[in-house]
Amino acid sequence: MTETSPAALVECRGLAKHYGEGDTRVDALKAVDLDLRPGEVVGLVGPSGSGKTTLLNLVGCIVEPSAGVLRLDGETVWDGRWLRPDLRSLRLEKIGFIFQFHNLLPFLDVTENVALVLDMAGASKEDAAARAQELLDYLEVGHRRKAKPSSLSGGEAQRVAIARALANRPRIILADEPTAALDGERAGIVMDLLRKVAVEQSATVVVVTHDEKIWDRFDRIFTLRDGRLVGSDGARR
């Protein structure tokens, strides 16, 4: 029997974004075709202004595409218009975000920062706290559950940010420069955690990065230049 590949979690067909019209038009992203599958950790690389963050924001349903089709976890979410009336609920359901800076709320402790996402999704306080503790233990920062963000190390804070991104069990994890503020050892730990998430939760992890020290951690690397997808490396380095 021939094995079939798992269905793509992210499908982009002719996905594009421009700003302005006529002489002032700027094409930030030009007709990108892309399939990303469960269990993958992929990198988006390229010079500043090449379209990496634009592509991440389109996949994250933060920015509205100008053209193309976007499917997430088998659901067509954009095809000439948003097909979901509530993009906030779409993001809560399908997508987890990780950024260069952890953006933890300083007046909440670690557990409260993670549980907040679940509160927003309508979970009970008890269920939110239990899920937060489960994730913090999973990422080996459960012993810091009552700490305020100001007392965390950079690596600990990024683990808490990853826990927050996973709170609603999204299968699409989008990370924008998640290791830029970390040294080589801590960057490697974060990438190992993201791979653990991808494999154990059948998730796709997409990382925008300029950080060459983590390129050997990717299954595939996609290069963008001037808004176009100009190359991909399909072998792990």
Three-class DSSP category at 98: strand
List the chain pLDDT tens, one digit each, 237 residues: 444 457 899 999 999 999 988 888 888 999 999 999 999 999 999 988 888 999 999 999 999 999 999 999 999 999 999 998 889 888 988 898 888 777 889 999 999 999 988 888 788 888 889 989 988 988 888 899 899 999 998 888 888 988 888 888 889 999 988 887 777 777 888 888 889 889 988 999 999 988 888 888 899 999 999 999 887 665 443
Q: Which two tokens stand for residue 64?
A: 């509205």
pLDDT of residue 196: 86
Which residue matches tokens 């990382």? Answer: 207
Q: Which two tokens stand for residue 40?
A: 């993958």
Vertex 108, ends 124 and 102: CA angle to 5°?
105
Domains assigned to the chain: 42-61+83-233 (3.40.50.300)
Q: For residue 174, give the amino acid letter.
A: L
Describe the chain by its helix, strand, coil percentages, rounded to 5: 35, 25, 35
Task: Report pLDDT for 223.
Answer: 93
Q: Specify burial of residue 147 (Cβ count, 10 A radius: 0-12, 13-18, 19+).
A: middle
pTM, whole model, 2 decimals? 0.85
